[in-house]
Copies of this chain bind each other. A is one copy, B any other.
């Protein structure tokens, strides 16, 4: 499906289930897509950070994306992360993503190398000019160690380079300024910058982002509870902020599962992604909760804590 309307709503970054050899478990991934679409999500983001894209070889990336596109079957749009260090490498991923049927691309600023706003602008423009799919900027300083300035995003929104922003910067004040400067909800729907979608990756403050005028959310823990985020989104759209806030609070408590892996023993990625995948396994959605090497596996105690969090949030495990 093409992105005829501005992207909005709940667009989870789809986890990539793996088998014990690290290969993509396509049967589990197909079930996960079903779980998300059945939960009412409005789009799917494949090959994002939560998808462990940085851990997947090109062949595994292709398998994962193809599986998501096939399983989505046009019911919701599929965005594909094209994550690599610089323009030439990203462009190759973008071409592959288009061939595999992605509806839009999500790209970060260059990383590993030291860069500059003028170079970042050139990077997005070249990418947009080379591969003809809507392009979302992925602002994720924790991964790429530079921040997309609101001024740069605005410039690339106004000249049509970008179709939207996936903001994982955690800078909610900056995002608020950007939304106001782009003209607010009204301006973005019908103003000088039509069809620019602002999606927040800050999954603990989605009610706030929607109140501020964001179009949607890309919640990692939306893999585990897509219906919860859809309820939150619907409440916000209906103007029932008290209900939205209560749903958000339930999801905040569920989210605490990301801390099950003790900080001194494993990386934050191992702990958070391990928890999401353990939850999906406990819920019967995927077969194997393993994360990609060299991430460390959760201990049995940590998995037990994930189980508790699921119970606490009203999502009883089936295993």
Contacts and interface: CB of A to CB of B under 8 A. Distances in A.
Interface stretch (A4-12, A139-147, A155-163): A139-147
Contact of A112 (B126, B144, B212, B252): B144
Interface residues of A, number: 71
Contacts of A63: none
Interface stretch (A25-33, A82-90, A224-232, A275-283): A82-90
Contacts of A242: 239
Given A180-B253, A208-B208, A208-B211, A270 B116 contact: yes
A173 B144 CA distance: 20
Given A170-B170, A184-B249, A241-B241, A88 B293 contact: yes
Interface of A: 22, 49, 54-57, 60, 83, 85-89, 92, 110-116, 118-120, 122-123, 126, 142-145, 170-173, 176-177, 180, 184, 202-205, 207-209, 211-213, 239, 241-242, 245, 248-249, 252-253, 255-256, 264-270, 292-296
Decide if the interface of chain A is mainly helix, strand, loop or mixed: helix
A111 B295 CA distance: 12
Contacts of A248: 176, 212
